[in-house]
């Protein structure tokens, strides 16, 4: 037994971390309603694989995660809990990869700290249960980091193939994955003197580019469109540091690092180690610092600096923190104390407030159902809210790929944009009462314009708000 435990200790710890991450978060999968972009992912994942790819050529979504959901939904169905097990599995695997990356290339405490920071991050608790591609992008980022370091350090040919696989999965998970490919290109320059490693890394990068040729024009088109502005606003001054704080739950963990880093650097200078730092430490530093910094700077022209888009940058940050402590704490007992202290603060600052339970769309849809009658019709605003609404209203309607709007119309439910469209539809259907389902919040300009337009001929007789940004109103003909 002792020999077994010694031989497979890393695998057993990795399995324990993956299991803890999975089962700790599992009970929370059904707490939050399926909402926002999740129904979009689930709806389009019902298409064939070729249909998914074709749909992704028309917008900013890469196809890999939808393809995975396509097959997963065929196994488990469409319930909120079962469908979200897929991103939870992906997130749990990421925790395991972070541990083995830190352990293999730095130390046990570096691996445990990287995995611990990841597991107890509020950000990842939230996104580990969201049916979107951001968790998959983080898993691919962590896999790419592991195999890049393994390829460069151990020079085994099979690891370069695994790195290529991670790269392809990364850029097909989200187009922001190209920031990581850029970091790989920069990191490859550190190994310029090792011609075998450098040459193989170059071929990996070439292979990644060639694999993406089918979607290259889509990427260019999305970039050109983004130069005219996106739905995301430009980040305010200081948002870079705020974002790093958020990765670590609060400013306290960051302030602890600010306290330890100068001490570690001074010790390294005294002991003559500062300028002998191996390349792998520089790699994990730039793995998060450059993409996060680039996205922050570019967001003044092409806004992209929001939590879900920069989430993958924290992968390198967590490994870097573990690696830094391993390098500059100098003593194993001190590494252990610092690691436990940082994980303890992450646990202590962990909380899931209203942001986790936001958007009670199920309750809002139930309110609409309670108000429905033969005398009224239901209007969905904005038009895109038809997917959010129909998932909770009638799953069979939601599953209709080409007839969803028609099926909603049969139920006297219409996704519309303007007051004129609503009033025309009321005349067409002979209804004097309108139930307005607003999924854009009370301050949306289009919603305000629609309400003001309706009030010219209709009287608002009820208005009920639901967290967050959901309003169900009833208007009756004057």
Sheet of strand 470-477: strand arrangement: 413-415, 376-381, 433-438, 470-477, 458-466
Residues linked to residue 466 through DSSP beta bridges, in sequence order: 470
Residue 460, phi-psi category: left (phi > 0), alpha (psi -120 to 50), beta (remainder): beta
Model pLDDT for residues 366-422, shown as the tens digit of each residue: 999 999 888 889 999 998 899 999 999 999 999 988 889 999 999 999 999 899 998
Position 267 scores a pLDDT of 62
Position 260 scores a pLDDT of 66
Position 36 scores a pLDDT of 83
- CA-based nearest residue to 309, from 294, 321, 319, 328: 294
Q: For residues 355-376, give the mean pLDDT.
A: 83
pLDDT higher than threshold 70 for residue 190: yes
Q: For residues 222-250, give the mean pLDDT.
A: 75
CA distance 40 to 251: 34
With contact defined as beta carbons under 8 Å apart, do 211 and 63 qualify? no
pLDDT higher than threshold 90 for residue 355: no
Position 23 scores a pLDDT of 93
Domains defined along the chain, listed by start: 2-348 (no CATH), 361-477 (3.40.190)
Higher pLDDT, 256 or 443: 443
Position 340 scores a pLDDT of 87
Give the torsion through C-alpha atoms of 321, 325, 328, 332, to 10 deg: -160
CA distance 51 to 45: 9
Alpha carbon distance, N-terminus to C-terminus of the chain: 82
Position 243 scores a pLDDT of 87
CA distance 312 to 206: 22
Model pLDDT for residues 112-148, shown as the tens digit of each residue: 999 999 999 888 888 888 899 999 999 999 999 999 9
Q: For residues 437-456, give the mean pLDDT.
A: 90
Structure tokens at 146: 């592991």
Q: Where are the alpha helices (DSSP H) in 129-250?
A: 134-154, 157-171, 178-188, 195-211, 213-226, 239-247
Position 353 scores a pLDDT of 61
At 264, is the pLDDT very low, low, confident or very high (cuts 50, 70, 90)? low
Higher pLDDT, 301 or 83: 83
Chain-centroid distance, C-alpha 260: 30
At 316, is the pLDDT very low, low, confident or very high (cuts 50, 70, 90)? very high
Q: Which of 145-149, 157-161, 162-166, 333-337 has the lowest mean pLDDT?
A: 333-337
Model pLDDT for residues 16-51, shown as the tens digit of each residue: 999 999 998 888 887 888 888 899 999 999 999 999
CA distance 238 to 253: 18
CA distance 24 to 21: 5
Burial of 240 (0-12, 13-18, 19+ CB in 10 A): middle
At 301, is the pLDDT very low, low, confident or very high (cuts 50, 70, 90)? confident
Higher pLDDT, 276 or 207: 207
């Amino acid at each position: 037994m002792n020999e077994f435990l010694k031989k497979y200790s890393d695998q057993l710890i990795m399995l324990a971390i993956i299991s803890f991450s999975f089962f700790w978060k599992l009970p929370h999968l059904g707490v939050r309603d399926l909402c926002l972009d999740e129904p979009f992912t689930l709806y389009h994942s019902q298409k064939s694989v070729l249909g998914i790819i074709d749909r992704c050529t028309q917008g900013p979504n890469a196809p890999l995660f939808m393809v995975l959901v396509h097959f997963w939904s065929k196994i488990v169905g469409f319930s909120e809990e079962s469908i979200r097990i897929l991103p939870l599995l992906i997130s749990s695997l990421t925790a395991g990869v972070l541990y083995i990356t830190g352990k293999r290339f730095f130390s046990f405490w570096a691996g445990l700290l990287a995995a611990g920071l990841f597991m107890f991050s509020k950000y990842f608790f939230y996104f580990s249960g969201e049916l979107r591609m951001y968790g998959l992008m983080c898993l691919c980022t962590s896999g790419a980091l592991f195999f890049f370091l393994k390829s460069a350090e151990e020079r085994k040919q099979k690891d370069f193939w695994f790195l290529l696989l991670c790269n392809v999965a990364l850029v097909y998970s989200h187009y922001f994955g190209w920031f990581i490919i850029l970091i790989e290109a920069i990191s490859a320059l550190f190994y310029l003197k090792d011609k075998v490693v450098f040459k193989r890394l170059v071929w990996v990068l070439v292979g990644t580019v060639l694999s993406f040729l089918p979607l290259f024009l889509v990427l260019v088109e999305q970039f050109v469109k983004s130069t005219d502005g996106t739905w995301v606003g430009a980040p305010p001054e200081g948002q870079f540091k705020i974002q790093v704080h958020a990765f670590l739950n609060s400013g306290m963990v960051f302030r602890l690092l600010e306290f330890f880093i100068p001490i570690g650097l001074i010790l390294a200078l005294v002991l003559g180690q500062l300028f002998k730092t191996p390349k792998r430490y520089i790699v994990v530093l730039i793995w998060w610092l450059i993409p996060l910094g680039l996205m922050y700077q570019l967001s003044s022209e092409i806004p992209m600096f929001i939590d879900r888009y920069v989430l993958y940058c924290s992968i390198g940050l967590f490994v870097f923190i573990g690696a830094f402590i391993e390098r500059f704490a100098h003593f194993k007992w001190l590494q252990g104390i610092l690691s436990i202290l940082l994980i303890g603060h992450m646990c202590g600052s962990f909380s899931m407030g209203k942001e986790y339970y936001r958007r009670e769309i199920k309750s809002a849809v139930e309110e609409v159902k309670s108000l429905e009658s033969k005398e009224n019709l239901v209007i969905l605003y904005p038009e895109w809210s038809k997917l959010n609404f129909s998932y909770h209203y009638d799953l069979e309607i939601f599953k209709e790929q080409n007839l969803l709007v028609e099926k909603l119309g049969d139920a006297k439910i219409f996704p519309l944009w303007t007051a004129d469209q609503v009033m025309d539809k009321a005349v067409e259907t002979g209804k004097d009462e309108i139930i307005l389902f607003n999924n854009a919040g009370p301050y949306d300009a289009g919603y305000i314009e629609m309400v003001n337009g309706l009030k010219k001929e209709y009287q608002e007789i009820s208005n009920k708000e639901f967290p967050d940004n959901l309003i169900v109103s009833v208007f009756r003909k004057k």
